[in-house]
Structure 1
């Protein structure tokens, strides 16, 4: 694995901005869930975001692929990266705090390393990565709480739903690496969200009925934020950071999101999460640092003349 580029002040600024956008999305989604059901919240997220990204593609005059196999890949990617995780996490947020949801969401990178090691021959599970995965899963168990796992109630099920969403994200990452080639990131994101909408609209109609349209202003604002800002614009910002900072540094966003979500949940919704959740996040953070490896390397000694 090649070393990640050094973080410039500009890259740090973009990382912080993305963390703020995604951290606030947990509050926006929870606000919308006060009035709309979970599957409808996903439809209101993927469909406007897809339209916004296709508008961006048209304005940039980016080539749109015509290969049916690539569009089928977009559909699968939309299911794995949007439809499944968005639905599971939206339902989970009905029963657990937004801050805890963001902490559990941080395990996406842990699953990503494990899935990549199982699928790709060049992503071996080295001792350092195995340590990171172990710490990450220990953090998940700590954040959820061993007693909660033993009791297993609706809260435990909600937390496991969020974990299921992060596993789906990891599977999407492996799928995207394997099949999504030949399309620009913007087109891939637009196609993925389109595929998710094609799945979610009929599913929502069948399970929940037509999504409500007579919504309160605060719900409309929340939907507008998490669909257009935290999804469409965030994807464009994500790929911009990827270009200037590298994939290794993007992992830092995972650690920067929970503090934002926890703070906003406490300020706006008076949410309080258990001390075990903070301890779990600390373990997850240690696991991500171990997998990244840069802080564990010995600094090079300057050569003497």
Structure 2
């Protein structure tokens, strides 16, 4: 097991906890921020092309911010050979373009509370995929229980007031779950690439390439940038900074600490996403199904990411 360097600021538990919570707060805030962006930019629910333009602007800007930050931090620059560029493009097209096509469409057709809970399926998909790809990351009884509990929560949140009324649309909830699956799949590929190149540079390039592809797809499909004014520009900048800052901090935490110590905080993302959606979008989080689903999903994430205690 990797032992943290106690002389490093980023290994001190109060700092680790504070920064990990900050990252999950930022990621959770994306749900109400995106839906607010639709309203500020006058992007209609069915205007998929303009939603792609909005997403492309965000991620292209986020990628450029990371690349500039990497330059300021004197990161070793990537020599973009054709094989490396092809790998980065493949990662960008799956982890950013493909994932966020479905994520932005899904968020237009469902609530922020529901989307934040459904998107947590990415953690469970990652565990299941890792079982078939990595020989040293097999499913355990604890992980299997965590996935079962988590998916039970996701299943529950799709019921209406009555357990006899199941509401699940492919455009809304289906797109969010599909986006989570693409993210889980691309993350495994990204993990392999990160062994050969700097993680910050890798993410900066994949966000830039994926964001540019989203922007191009949106414009070619007839999308528009929306009605830009001070509030919408500030929101777009916030969303871009959210992605770049959260990744930069998260990658530093993973570098200096055991992975399990950091990833355990992932259970906070659906909590922050639900609470902030309730606060800013005036959505109802206090329905019994939402509360129970949130508890089940967070419990599932805790179970699959918690590091097992060594046998005495």
* Counterpart mapping for 1:138-149 below 5 A: 138-145=152-159
**Displacement over 4 Å in runs of 4+:** 2-7, 146-154, 296-300
CA RMSD of aligned residues (A): 2.6
Specify which of 113, 136, 146 is matched with residue 150 of structure 2.
136
1:293 Cα shift?
Answer: 4.0
Specify which of 27, 46, 65 is matched with residue 52 of structure 1.
65
Distance 1:121 1:262, change over 3 A: same
Mapped partners of 1:173, 1:148: distance in 2: 35
1:113 Cα shift?
Answer: 0.5
Name the structure 2 match of 1:258.
Answer: 270
Name the structure 2 match of 1:38.
Answer: 51
Quick check: 97-106 or 159-168, which moved more? 97-106
TM-score by length of 1: 0.87
Name the structure 1 match of 2:30.
Answer: 25
* Counterpart mapping for 1:21-100 below 5 A: 21-34=26-39, 35=41, 36=43, 37-62=50-75, 63-100=77-114
Runs (5+) with no aligned partner, structure 2: 5-10, 44-49
TM-score by length of 2: 0.85
Mapped partners of 1:165, 1:117: distance in 2: 20
Quick check: 243-252 or 104-113, which moved more? 243-252
Quick check: 246-255 or 8-17, which moved more? 246-255
Mapped partners of 1:267, 1:173: distance in 2: 31
1:98 Cα shift?
Answer: 1.3
- Checking the alignment, whether the CA contact within 8 Å between 1:79 and 1:196 is kept in structure 2 is yes
User: Are positions 1:288 and 2:301 aligned together?
Assistant: yes
Specify which of 138, 158, 166 is matched with residue 124 of structure 1.
138
User: Are positions 1:275 and 2:288 aligned together?
Assistant: yes
Count of aligned residue pairs for this structure pair: 295
Distance 1:259 1:286, change over 3 A: closer
1:258 Cα shift?
Answer: 2.4
Mapped partners of 1:125, 1:202: distance in 2: 40
Mapped partners of 1:231, 1:272: distance in 2: 26
Mapped partners of 1:252, 1:58: distance in 2: 31
Distance 1:197 1:217, change over 3 A: same
Mapped partners of 1:3, 1:101: distance in 2: 35
Distance 1:150 1:67, change over 3 A: farther
Name the structure 2 match of 1:220.
Answer: 233
1:87 Cα shift?
Answer: 2.2
SS in 2 for 1:144: coil
Distance 1:162 1:148, change over 3 A: farther
- Checking the alignment, whether the CA contact within 8 Å between 2:20 and 2:265 is kept in structure 1 is yes
Mapped partners of 1:38, 1:75: distance in 2: 21
